[in-house]
Structure 1
Amino acid sequence: MKQNQNMCIIGNDILLIPYKAKHVPKYHDWMKSEELQKLTASEPLTLEEEYSMQQAWAEDADKCTFIILSKEDYNVIHDEASIEEEAMAGDVNIFFNDPDEKSSAELEIMIAEKRYRKKGLGKEALLAMMKYGIDELNVSVYTVKIGFDNNISLNMFTKLGFSEVSKSEVFKEVTLQLDINEDFLKYLDAKTEHLKIVEYPTEH
């Protein structure tokens, strides 16, 4: 999405940066994992196809993608040539799948690097993305699609207030939905008041 191509969101433990061509090789390596393919319901692509997808997503008005960086590791890596790639933890996305309902969006989040899991990066990135979607993209309804056996994600989204709206036995996934209301906005504002949005690239 062009709207976020020059934007960086700074959190306590994360940096959200636009998905650029230099990030593709590591992203491509991630998606060779059968575990991640299953969790994201995706098929492996060739490196050339991954580059094409990155370019397409950067221009697509219906897809907003940020790469998640570990802020801690970003701040201690001194090789400027590879600093972002070495601190990459995963990605977070908003998809507008219904052209007639631009206030409704699907969320996806992936912490691909195992060393960054269970450290709170995923939840902070998710809340930051939800805040961005509400404030900048006018989202009022979020949905997520989660595999039946992905208990960690199911628990996280349920605790945030998402509720089940449908199940697919064919795809072995459940669809959860959250209608943004005043109570959730108060919760989200409190959880994201520390975030800063700055120009990318910039010093963090």
Structure 2
Amino acid sequence: MKLNESSAVSTTRALLVPYESRHVPTYHQWMEDPAIQEATASEPLTLEEEYENQQSWRSSHDKLTFIICQPVTDNSAPSVHAGQVDSPEKMIGDVNLFLYPNDDEEEQADDRFQCIGEVDIMIASHGHRGKGLGRTVVSGFLQYISRNLEEILHEYYAGEREQAGTATNSSKPRLRMLMAKINKDNSKSIALFKSLGFEQEGDVNYFGELKLVLRDLGAYATANVPEGYAELVYERED
């Protein structure tokens, strides 16, 4: 998405920055790990293909991506500087939101366009796993989504209408729910999302995944503001 191209999200334990071309070499190294490929259901790509993906994700109306980095020491500054706070040794992983239309007609409460958001997270740095960082990151990400939901849905809906070749109407789109699809054997990720208020819906699917859902993002975000949460300007050098 273009929405977060100049935005960073800071908490006491992590900094989220927009996915830039400068991050691609490190991201490519992460994705060469067979274990990460399996965990993310990803196929290995060439470095050139990773650069193409990064550009595609930046302009995509249905994918919001942040790179997870080590926290900044001074959270009171209004901005952070690209290349300093997100150098390769400070990169930890990524967190994403995927949006797609709600096709379940039985769940349509009104005539508004409805969509579903899928959240996923990858802690690629082995040294940062098993320390509760994932929970902090997803909590901060959910807070960002909640506070910027109107703009997120506007960009998504406009993109959907453009792809369909139709004019945007005046009705406001609605996020029906957030969900996470997690391999049934990934007990740590399942526990992470359940600790954030996601609830299991249905049984294990054909692909061996559990579906966990969060239906009231606003209530969650109001009650769970991460320590030190701040939205900062992500400044690039001219």
Indicate the structure (1 or 2) with the bigger Cα radius of gyration: 2
Q: Given residue 19 of structure 1, which amino acid in structure 2 is its aligned partner?
A: Y
Question: Shift of residue 174 of structure 1?
Answer: 1.1
Q: Structure 1 runs of 4+ off > 6 angstroms?
A: none
Q: 1:89–1:116: 8 Å Cα contact kept in structure 2? A: yes
What is residue 77 of structure 1 aligned with on the other side?
none
**2:136 and 2:47 mapped to 1: Cα distance?**
29
Identity of aligned residues (%): 36
Residue range with higher mean Cα deviation, 119-128 or 105-114? 119-128
Report 1:99-178 matches (<5 A).
Answer: 102-138=114-150, 139=175, 141-178=177-214
Q: 1:134–1:140: 8 Å Cα contact kept in structure 2? A: no
What is residue 220 of structure 2 aligned with on the other side?
184
Q: 1:70–1:121: 8 Å Cα contact kept in structure 2? A: no
Q: Given residue 232 of structure 2, which amino acid in structure 1 is its aligned partner?
A: V
Task: Indicate the RMSD between aligned Cα atoms, in angstroms.
Answer: 2.5
What is residue 94 of structure 1 aligned with on the other side?
97
Aligned residue for 1:44, secondary structure, equals coil
Say if 1:102 and 1:17 are closer, same or farther in 2 by CA, change over 3 A.
Answer: farther
Aligned residue for 1:91, secondary structure, equals strand
Using structure 1 for the length normalisation, give the TM-score.
0.86
Residue range with higher mean Cα deviation, 154-163 or 53-62? 154-163
Question: Shift of residue 157 of structure 1?
Answer: 1.1
Say if 1:52 and 1:184 are closer, same or farther in 2 by CA, change over 3 A.
Answer: same
Aligned residues: 196
What is residue 26 of structure 1 aligned with on the other side?
26
Aligned residue for 1:97, secondary structure, equals strand
Question: Shift of residue 35 of structure 1?
Answer: 1.2
**1:89 and 1:145 mapped to 2: Cα distance?**
21
Unaligned runs of 5+ in 2: 75-82, 104-112, 151-174
Q: 1:96–1:102: 8 Å Cα contact kept in structure 2? A: no
What is residue 228 of structure 2 aligned with on the other side?
194
Using structure 2 for the length normalisation, give the TM-score.
0.74
Residue range with higher mean Cα deviation, 38-47 or 143-152? 38-47
What is residue 8 of structure 1 aligned with on the other side?
8
Unaligned runs of 5+ in 1: 75-79
**2:133 and 2:35 mapped to 1: Cα distance?**
19
**1:16 and 1:155 mapped to 2: Cα distance?**
22
Aligned residue for 2:51, secondary structure, equals helix
Q: 1:161–1:178: 8 Å Cα contact kept in structure 2? A: yes
Q: Given residue 194 of structure 1, which amino acid in structure 2 is its aligned partner?
A: G
Deviations 1:1-54 (A, max 9, x none): 100000111110111000000101111111111211121121111111111110
Question: Shift of residue 167 of structure 1?
Answer: 4.1
